[in-house]
Structure 1
Amino acid sequence: MTRPPGDPDHGGGHAPRPSVSCAHCGTPADEPPPTWTCSVEDGVRRYFCDACSRAHLRSIEGRLDSARW
């Protein structure tokens, strides 16, 4: 897994991470909790809360883009 430059875990600075919200329902989070699902669709990283991840598990495992849920 590669991290963008400036990511604190990358060693390239201490830029704050942007706030995150669920790409499906909009639930906000200061940073993605470890149980949230991360998906990369069309080169964009999207996070999904626990509830949306559970509700759409089969679609996620089938690698369907969230637009098709």
Structure 2
Amino acid sequence: MHPDGGRAVFFIVEPNRDQLVALEQKLRDSLLKPVVGAVFSLTEALAAFDPAHRSPGKTVIRVVEP
């Protein structure tokens, strides 16, 4: 089932260890700054998909509370 105007795309990701290690190092060196738009607890995860909660950046669902 797709939302109006939506489409499905099939793709395969083949992880590359060297690229993942380089990405990890950039994160550790603060060279990458992910944009977080909203953070939800696991109990609020359903609300994360509500269009009313859309914001620029990534939506994070926190599985373990600090």
Structure 2-normalised TM-score? Answer: 0.23
Mark the structure with the bigger radius of gyration. 2
Report the structure, 1 or 2, having the larger helix content.
2
